[in-house]
Amino acid sequence: MTRWFEDIEVGAPYPLGSHVFSAEAIKRFAALYDPQYFHLDEVAARHSHFGGLIASGWHTVVVGHRLMVDALEVEANRLRAAGGEPGVSGPSPGVNTMAFRTPVRPGDTVEYTLTVTSKRPSQSLPGWGLLINRLEGVNQRGEPVYHAEVVAFSKLRDYRMPLGRKLAAALKPLTRIGILKRLRANRR
Amino acid sequence: MNPITSGRRHFEDLAVGEVLVLASVTVTREMIISFAREFDPLPFHLDEEAAKASLLGGLAASGWQTAALSLRLLNDAFLGHVASAGGLGFSDLKWRRPVLAGDTIGGTATIVALRLSQSHPEWGIAEIDFDISNHKGERAMTMRLANLIERREVLMTQPQQPYGTEHGSGRA
Q: What is this model's ipTM?
A: 0.88
> Do A111 and A39 share a structural domain?
yes
CA-angle at B39, arms to A140 and A70, nearest 5°: 75
> Do A188 and A171 share a structural domain?
yes
Reported as a pLDDT band with limits 50, 70 and 90, residue A175 is low
Rounded CA separation B27/B62 (Å): 11
> Do A105 and A53 share a structural domain?
yes
Rounded CA separation A21/A25 (Å): 7
Rounded CA separation B70/B134 (Å): 12
> Do A172 and A148 share a structural domain?
no
Rounded average pLDDT over B80-93: 98
Distance from CA of B116 to the nearest CA of A (A): 17
Q: Checking DSSP bridges between strand B19-21 and strand B104-116, what pairing results, if any?
A: antiparallel
Find the Cα–Cα–Cα–Cα dihedral B52, B55, B61, B67, rounded to 10°.
170
> Do A150 and A168 share a structural domain?
no
The number of domains in chain B is: 1
In a domain, B51, yes or no: no
pTM above 0.90, yes or no: no
What's the pLDDT score for residue B168?
A: 36
Give the H or E element holding residue A76.
Answer: helix A57-81
Rounded CA separation B82/A105 (Å): 23
Find the Cα–Cα–Cα–Cα dihedral A2, A21, B36, A67, rounded to 10°.
0
State whether A97 and B91 contact (CB < 8 Å). Answer: yes
> Do A174 and A115 share a structural domain?
no
Give the residue numbers spanning the domain of A164. Answer: 160-188
- The share of chain B scoring above pLDDT 70, in percent, equals 89
Q: What is the mean pLDDT of chain B?
A: 90
> Do A175 and A120 share a structural domain?
no
Which of B71, B79, B94 minimises the CB distance to A58?
A: B71
Which chain B residues touch A32 with a CB distance below 8 Å?
Answer: 68, 72
Which of B41, B63, B92 minimises the CB distance to A69?
A: B41
How many CB contacts within 8 angstroms connect chain A with chain B?
97
In a domain, B43, yes or no: no
A30: nearest CA partner in chain B: B72
B61: nearest CA partner in chain A: A91
In a domain, B142, yes or no: yes
Contact status of B88 with chain A (Cβ, < 8 Å): yes
B89: nearest CA partner in chain A: A99
Predicted confidence (pLDDT) at residue A58 exceeds the cutoff of 70:
yes
State whether A36 and B63 contact (CB < 8 Å). Answer: no
In 3-state terms, what secondary structure has residue A32? helix
> Do A171 and A146 share a structural domain?
no
Rounded CA separation A148/B89 (Å): 9
pLDDT tens column, B88-144: 999 999 999 999 999 999 999 999 999 999 999 999 999 999 999 999 999 999 999
Reported as a pLDDT band with limits 50, 70 and 90, residue B160 is very low
In a domain, B79, yes or no: yes
Decide: A36 and B87 in contact? Cβ < 8 Å. Answer: no
Decide: B148 and B5 in contact? Cβ < 8 Å. Answer: no
Q: Which amino acid, B12?
A: E
Q: Checking DSSP bridges between strand B19-21 and strand B84-95, what pairing results, if any?
A: unpaired
> Do A185 and A95 share a structural domain?
no
Query: Quick count: other Cβ atoms within 10 Å of Cβ A58?
Result: 23
> Do A101 and A48 share a structural domain?
yes
> Do A181 and A107 share a structural domain?
no
State whether B93 and A95 contact (CB < 8 Å). Answer: yes
Give the residue numbers spanning the domain of B148. Answer: 11-27+62-157
Q: Is A47 left (phi over 0), alpha (psi -120 to 50) or beta?
A: alpha
Which of B41, B72, B86 minimises the CB distance to A38?
A: B86
Predicted confidence (pLDDT) at residue A2 exceeds the cutoff of 90:
no
> Do A103 and A28 share a structural domain?
yes
In a domain, B42, yes or no: no
The number of domains in chain A is: 2
The CATH number of whichever domain residue A152 belongs to comes to 3.10.129.10
The CATH number of whichever domain residue B22 belongs to comes to 3.10.129.10
